[in-house]
Amino acid sequence: MIGWLDCTAGASGDMLLGAVVDAGVPLATLQDAVDTVAVEPIALSVESVTRGGLGATRVQVSAPRSTITRTWPDVRDLLINARLDEAVRTKALDVFARLAAAEARVHRVAAEQVRFHEVGALDAIADIVGVCAGLHALDLTSLGAGRVTLGSGVVRSEHGLIPVPAPAVLELLSAVSAPVWAGPAPYEMCTPTGAALLAAHVDRWGTLPTMNVSRTGAGAGRRAIRRRNGRMDSALTRWPSTASRAGRTVSAPTIATSTAAMPPKPIERRKTCGKISRLPREIPTVSPENATVRPAVVMVARSAVSTSPSAFGSSSRNLLTMNSA
């Protein structure tokens, strides 16, 4: 089974948590993984919410306030000593290693000296370990994702105001050649945690491939963005690489994707009877020869963050869809 993430509205840890739970992963699976790592009690809870008029699942992380600033070696020791499934441990270590490397490049220090401020908090550890455990429970062989919306503007951090996209987000996604764009919302749409999780799990970037969807899930973040559906969608599907039909074997078509985002064409305008009319843009077509059908998990991200109730209304929402074998 493979998966696909629609990151139209960005990505964050809590959006992904909600997506995997709504797709059918028991909350207890995530809680058990988090409990093996956390040095302090962390509780996960689920609630049903709506984002842009659509239903979604929100996973809330309740953790005590901590004054501890953890370095990369500190977090690495926690993960190594935890009683995690080895596959989950490996992925969680990979996510934090990518974060440490990105922060090291941004601040011009050695990775071992990187101090995780926001990311090193207990709730961020819960996000990363929980998502790694949830995606592992889905038993995916491959995970794809579309273009990632990053947002624009500024965001407040431990170092003061920093630009959006955050430098660490750009470092993380550029390292895996992920297609990105700012999007229409002047907010942080993709967090460093979300970017690191994408970088560690996604092995192919491109549009949604042809698939037979078996189930879906929607995960919501805590922020509300008006006029935008803040959710992440994902789909899971299975299909054979070859199929026997009417006594003959037919190879499954494959979808060709590009790692570079295609820039939008400028809108052509012309005057007609004193009115401005828009000429329709050309719609690219996919033929059976260049289309791919294979098992997949699809996730779509809708706005991950928002802060202004006047500019944005509904919180972020993530959707997960699965295909039966």
What's CA 184's distance to the chain center, in Å? 18
Query: What are the residue ranges in the chain where pLDDT is below 70?
Result: 117-120, 224-235, 237-325
Q: Cα torsion at 240, 144, 140, 39 (round to 10°)?
A: 180
Residues in the chain: 325
pLDDT at 120: 56
Domain around 55: 2-322
pLDDT at 30: 97
DSSP letter for 27, please: H
DSSP for 120-145 reads TSHHHHHHHHHHHHHHHHTT-SEEEE
- Structure tokens that stand for 255 in this block: 């979808």
In this prediction the pTM is 0.74
How many Cα neighbours within 13 Å face the side chain of 130?
Answer: 34
pLDDT at 236: 72
Residue 92 CB coordination number (10 Å): 28
CB 299 within 8 A of CB 232: yes
Report the number of distinct structural domains present in the chain. 1
Only one residue has tokens 């059908």, namely 293
Cα maximum dimension of the chain: 74
Please report the sign of the dihedral spanned by the C-alpha atoms of residue 160, residue 161, residue 163, residue 165.
positive
CA-based nearest residue to 82, from 307, 90, 315: 90
CA-based nearest residue to 188, from 204, 159, 217, 167: 167
pLDDT at 52: 78
- Structure tokens that stand for 72 in this block: 């990369």
What distance in Å separates the CA atoms of residue 262 and residue 255, rounded to the nearest whole number? Answer: 16
pLDDT at 261: 37
What's CA 137's distance to the chain center, in Å? 17
Amino acid at 30: L
CB 298 within 8 A of CB 213: yes
β-pair partners for 275:
272
For the stretch 226-283, pLDDT in tens is 545 566 666 676 543 333 333 332 222 222 223 333 334 443 333 333 333 343 444 3
